[in-house]
Amino acid sequence: MLSAVRGRVAAGDSVPRALAGAPGGAVSVQGLLRDHDRTRRDLLGAGDAVQALLEDPAVTDVVVHAGQAWVDRGRGLEAVAIPVGEEAEVRGLAVRLAALAGQRLDDAAPIVDGVLPGGTRLHAVLPPLAADGTSISLRPLHQREFTLEVLRETGMVGEEAERLLRGLVARRANVVVAGATGTGKTTLLAALLALASHAERLVCIEEASELRPNHPHVVHLQARSANVQAAGSVSLSDLVRASLRMRPDRIILGEARGREIRDVLAALNTGHAGSWFTLHANSSADVPARLAALGALAGLDEHAMAVQAAAALDAVVFLRRENGRRWVAELARLRAREGRLEVDVVLDSADGRCRPEWEEFSARWSP
């Protein structure tokens, strides 16, 4: 019926108020549709005010905390004047969103990380862990497809970087995409995975499914936390090991953040070429330290991590974000020298300079 009602909007027609559940009179089609959208946002989304922010294509993050909402439109977080309600209402919103994500959020399980039906990433923390009141973090999944061509047009990828990125995919390099939060690691990775041969099977492993490459054969594996009886957890390490038996052509780890790094590097060193993962780091020079820290969680000492990483990883793609702009800032490679992992930057987009190692790197990975 709703589709029929929408078809009368252009004519400015009205419908019986009975359609809206009110006695007598008539209500405008526009009013009925507004009521429908408000109800949909309340029942299936984040509420009328917050959901409207999530549906804004310019918004990359929405956070609600202590009775205030903020959004990120590429310039950092900005406060927005919307009614989010008192603490009881914010907590109720967090609990309802967790239920929509198939998760439990209460005093026994006060932290939740999940994905809403429309693809929005949810993270929420209840008091007393969130000392000032319930904290909700939302990252919408906008349906726009970002191809590598589009990313180049927007300035995210330069000409030389684009050529080498295409080569890294085509020649099945093992690559880590590094950068700080919000630099576009997932966006770039999805665009690059879309370039993989359609004859290949991609297995994507994530804590909460966010990667959506435009590729016909993608298997999504998602980690699971333990229930309140401390049972039933499935870790990223478990999923990496499971993926090895799923006939993968490429293993994709959404983000390396713990002991699963040992399993990923072991897989990359035993024939699983063309695999990628993302890593939080403040610069390409910090990648060895981040890998060493993750390796320590997995019981690998610095020397073992250096040898494993240098043998497994062919390139580092580092992204930067500044003044609302996101771009591929550096391409680099990893080397093990005297038992330590080091980075050689081969292309620096900031000054457009190719380093001495560029010719060798370019020759090996050009498409």
Same domain, 106 and 168: no
Please give the tally of structural domains in the chain. 3
CATH number of the domain enclosing 80: 3.30.450.370
Q: Is the pLDDT of residue 93 over 50?
A: yes
- Structure confidence at residue 269 (pLDDT): 93
Distance CA 163, CA 155 (A): 14
Distance CA 284, CA 281 (A): 7
CATH number of the domain enclosing 341: 3.40.50.300
How do residues 128-155 score in pLDDT, each as one tens digit? 999 999 999 998 877 667 899 999 998 9
Q: Domain of 354?
A: 148-365
Q: Is 150 left (phi over 0), alpha (psi -120 to 50) or beta?
A: alpha
Same domain, 213 and 333: yes
Cβ neighbours for 238, distance < 8 A, ≥ 6 positions apart = 223
Distance CA 221, CA 103 (A): 17
How do residues 277-307 score in pLDDT, each as one tens digit? 999 999 999 999 999 999 999 999 999 999 9
Cis peptide before 213 (omega within 30 of 0): no
Same domain, 187 and 113: no
Tokens for 285, please give them: 């020079």
Same domain, 212 and 277: yes
Same domain, 159 and 265: yes
Q: Is the pLDDT of residue 46 over 80?
A: no
Same domain, 220 and 335: yes
